[in-house]
Amino acid sequence: MKINVTKKKFLDLLKDAVQSRKSFEEFCEFIFNYFYAEDDYDFEDDEILLLFEFFVGILDFENYFKNPDLNTRLKRIIETLEKGNWDLESIKFVFDLETIKQLFDKYKNGLITKEIYERQISNLSTMKFDIKKMLKLINEQFQ
């Protein structure tokens, strides 16, 4: 049976996940099941597929360590998606906002070099993302 994954469906599931533990576990199951039944998932577009891959990487880790900031991070992702920003760089930016801000401040204050700053930003994720686009987002936000 094909599961049609639209942006609306994904966003609704994510919103529910922030509201209750049961819904969060259902969201995790929905995301993780994709990797067992890839052919059963039909994505509206590639941006949603990238989000699945992003969430697989973070949900297992974040849930395992019971990160108290996870709900705040997920709410920021929801706000970003609601604004129509479905690209990986925007999602990664709001998810790691505190870490990115710390790195930006260190760079601007001369505590780390540009090369170290850019390397640390690119190391925030095992997923490939456009580092130039990410740096542009950071500069727009913090300058």
pLDDT by residue (tens digit) across 25-78? Answer: 899 899 988 878 878 889 999 999 889 888 888 887 766 567 778 889 999 999
Print burial letters for 25-49: b (CB count within 10 Å at least 16), e (below 16): eebbebbeebeeeeeebebeeebbe
pLDDT beyond 60 at 93: yes
d(CA 100, CA 92): 10
Q: Which of 132, 140, 47 is nearest to 91 (CA)?
A: 47
Give 12: exposed, middle or buried? Use CB within 10 Å, 0-12, 13-18, 19+: exposed
What confidence score (pLDDT) does residue 65 get? 60
What confidence score (pLDDT) does residue 104 get? 97
| Domain segments of the chain as ranges | 3-67, 97-142
Average pLDDT in the 8-12 region? 94
What confidence score (pLDDT) does residue 15 get? 95
What confidence score (pLDDT) does residue 3 get? 87
pLDDT digits (tens, 9 = 90+) for 98-120: 999 999 999 999 999 999 999 99
Contact 118, 131 (CB under 8 A): yes
Give the rounded percent of residues in the chain with a pLDDT score beyond 70: 97
pLDDT beyond 80 at 92: yes
Give 2: exposed, middle or buried? Use CB within 10 Å, 0-12, 13-18, 19+: exposed
Q: How far, in Å, are 7, 34, 56 from residue 39 at the CA level? A: 18, 8, 17
Angle between helices 88-95 and 70-82 (to 10 degrees): 150
